[in-house]
Chains A and B, each alone.
Chain A
Amino acid sequence: MFGAVIRMESVTKRYPDGTVAVDRLSLEIPDRSITVLVGPSGCGKTTTLRMINRMVEPSEGRILLDGVDIRRQPVNALRRSMGYVIQNAGLFPHRTVVDNIATVPRLLGWSRRRARARAAELMERVGLDASLGRRYPYQLSGGQQQRVGVARALAADPPVLLMDEPFSAVDPVVRKGLQDELLRIQDELGKTIVFVTHDIDEAVRLGTRVAVLRAGGRLAQCAPPAELLAAPADAFVEDFLGADRGIRRLSFLPSGGLPLQKSPVVTVDCTAEQIAARAAPGLPYLLVTDRDGRPLGWGEPEALLAGPPDPARLLPHGRPFEYGSDSLRAALDGAVLSPTGWAVAVDGTGRVLGVVSQQTIGEAVRSAHAGSRTAAGSWDRVAG
C-alpha cells in the first residue's frame, strides 16, 4: 500500500489551560514523500503530529486523509492505519522484539503465525539480525530499539508514518545510520511520512519538504530543503537555519559539472618525462596514484624526479569526493581539507578522475547561485 495525502485546513489547537499550541495551520502533506516539521522546542510539532492520528483533537479546523475527514472513521481503525515512531522507541518492555513488531497485525486480527512471519520480514527490512527476535527490549542498544520501533510502525503496512523526534536520543553515528536506513526504506515503500525534529540538519537531510514552525504553532515556511536554504522567507527562518546556511546549501548542488584537471596526476611508476610534462599552472604539486589509479598523496615534482616516491612522505590528499554523486559541499570540503587546496575527484570505484581547485569550485558555486535566483528550488537533491 502506498501513501495517502494529508491535508490540514486551518487547524488550531488550544489546550484547556489556554495554551495555543498550533495556530491556524494549513499544510498539504503529499504522498510518497517525507514532510519534516521542524522548529524550536515547544512550537507545537508534537501537537500537530498527534492531531493527525487523533491523540489530540483540534479545537478548530479539520484534517483530511485522501480527501476524507479523519473524524469519519473509528479512531482505533485510523490509528492502526498510521505507524507511529517516537523518541526512545516506546517499545513494550514485556514483549520480545518479534512480538513488539507483531503488535498491530495482531490487533488487526492476523493469526499469530502470520504476524510473526511478517515481523521477521520487517526485521530484515530495517537491518536487524533475525537472532535478535527473541530478545527483550532491555537487551538491545538504543539504536537497535529505534529500529524495532520503525519495524513495529511499518508492520501492518500503513500508508502513513508519523515520526516524533525518533532519532533524537541516539548518538550521531547511530543517528546517521538510522537516517540512511529511513531514506532507503522510503525509496522502497513510498509512504507518506510526517517527521518531527528540532534538528535543522536532520530536517534538511531527510525532508522532501520542510515545514518550519515558529513558537505559537504558526507556519513560517514550507519548502523543499534546497529552496529553504536558498531563500528563507524571513529573519526567523534564516536565523533558525543557522550561520552556515550557505555551506549547507552546497549539499544540494551536484559536483558533476565541475571542470576537472587531469594533467597533474601521475602514477607511482611514471617516467621522468611524464612528471616534467604534467605540472599545472598554480599547482606546485602532483597527485600520485597507485597503479590502479587510487590516490596516494601529493608530491613535489623535484622530489618525484629524484626517484620513486615513498608513499609515507607524500602530503595527504584529504577525502576524495565522488564525481557526480557527491555534492559541491563534499568537493569544497575536500579542497579545504587538502594541504594543497585542491580536491581529488574519484569515480564510484575510488579511481582518480582528476583534481579541482578551491577557486574552480568557488566559481561553480557562484554560477549555480546565479542560476538559482531565477529557478529557486528546481534542483534535484544530491546525496551527501
Chain B
Amino acid sequence: MNGFFDIPSDLQHSWFGLIGLHLREALLPVLAGLVAALPLAQLCVRFRWLYPPVLSLTTVLYAVPSLAFFVVLIDYTGQSELTVMIPLAVYSLVVLVPAVVDGVRSVPPETLAAATAMGFGPVRRYVQVQLPIAVPAIIAGLRVATVSSISLVSVGMLIGNQGALGNLLHAATVYHRPELAVNSVVTTAALAVLADGALVLLRLLLTPWMPRGARRRTPRAARPDATAPAPKEAGR
C-alpha cells in the first residue's frame, strides 16, 4: 500500500513517534489509576460500607463522555496530553478498584489470620501478603483497563491532535488518504494485543506459585492425603 507509513508532517511525528506517544498517553493513565486504586481498594476492604458508594462513583464517572471531560479540563490543562490522560485514568478505576478489591478478598482467611498471628502489622500485611496474592486478579483488571485505554486514546484527536495514532483518522479524511485510517486501526489493534500479551507474561513471571494447567490436577490426584481444600485460587 503506497504511503502507508508516510505520515503527514502536520502530525509532527514519525510512525514510531506516534506509537510511542500513543503508548504513553494510554499507559500512564492506567498506571496512575492503579496507584490510586491500591489504597482506595484497601480502604474498601477495611471499611466494607465504603465499597458500594465507591463502586457507584467509579461507574458514574465512567459514564461521563470523554468530550464532557475535555470541555471542563481544557480550561485548566489546555489542549495537552494531560487533558486526554486524566479522563482515561478516571475510567480505568471502574475496572481496577473492583479488581484489587476482589483480589485482596480472595486471600484465604486462614492465611490472613496466620499473618496477623505472626506479627505482621496492617501495612506490612497488605504489601507483603494481600497484594502479592491479589496479583492475578489485579493483572486481569489491568488487561481490560490497558486494552480499553489504548483504544480510547484516539478520541484525543478531538482536542487539537492529541490522539496519537487516532490523529491518523483525522488526517485520512483531510488528505483523502484512506490508507492512513487503516494504519491507525491496525496499529492500535496490534498495540492492544501486544500490551495484553506483555501483561499475561508479567503475570506468569509474578505468580510461579499458582497451580497451572496439567500440573494442577495430576499431582493432587496422586496424593493419598490431599484432603485439605486447596487454597483459593485468586482470579481464576
Contacts and interface: CB of A to CB of B under 8 A. Distances in A.
Interface string A152-190: 100000000010000001110110000000000000000
A171 B224 CA distance: 9
A113 to B, nearest CB: 19
B210 A104 contact: no
B114 A138 contact: no
A53 interface: yes
B207 A107 contact: no
Nearest to A107: B119
A139 B231 CA distance: 11
A91 B118 contact: no
A169 B116 contact: no
Main secondary structure of the interface of B (DSSP, over half): loop
A88 B210 contact: no
Interface stretch (B54-62, B75-83, B94-102, B105-113): B105-113
Contact of A170 (B132, B216, B219, B225): B225
B9 interface: no
A9 B143 CA distance: 55
Given A88-B108, A90-B108, 12 more contacts: A55-B113, A76-B120, A79-B119, A88-B229, A90-B114, A91-B231, A94-B132, A103-B118, A138-B211, A141-B228, A146-B228, A170-B225
B121 A55 contact: no
A55 B117 contact: yes
B138 to A, nearest CB: 13
Contacts of A149: 114
B118 A107 contact: yes
A80 B118 contact: yes
A95 interface: yes
A86 B113 contact: yes
17 contacts: A90-B108, A90-B111, A92-B115, A104-B119, A107-B119, A136-B208, A136-B209, A138-B209, A138-B231, A139-B211, A141-B224, A141-B226, A142-B225, A142-B226, A142-B227, A170-B225, A171-B225
Nearest to B231: A93
Interface in A87-138: 87-96, 103-104, 107, 136-138
Interface in B190-236: 207-211, 216, 219, 223-231
A171 B227 contact: yes
Contacts of A78: 119
A17 B90 CA distance: 39
Contacts of B211: 138-139
Given A170-B228, A173-B225, A84 B118 contact: yes
Contacts of B208: 136
Nearest to B117: A84
Interface string A61-83: 00000000000000111111010
A143 interface: yes
Nearest to B135: A94
Interface of B: 108, 110-121, 129, 132-133, 135, 207-211, 216, 219, 223-231
Q: How large is the interface on A (under 10, 10 to 19, 20 to 34, 35 or more residues)?
A: 35 or more
A145 interface: yes
A162 B114 CA distance: 11
A138 B225 CA distance: 13
A93 B113 contact: no
A84 B117 CA distance: 6
Contacts of B225: 141-143, 170-171, 173-174
A250 B112 CA distance: 42
Given A90-B108, A90-B110, A170-B227, A80 B209 contact: no
A332 B166 CA distance: 88
B207 to A, nearest CB: 7
B113 A80 contact: no
Q: Which of B110, B118, B216 has the most CB of A within 10 A?
A: B118
Given A77-B119, A79-B118, A138-B210, A90 B113 contact: yes
A80 B209 CA distance: 26
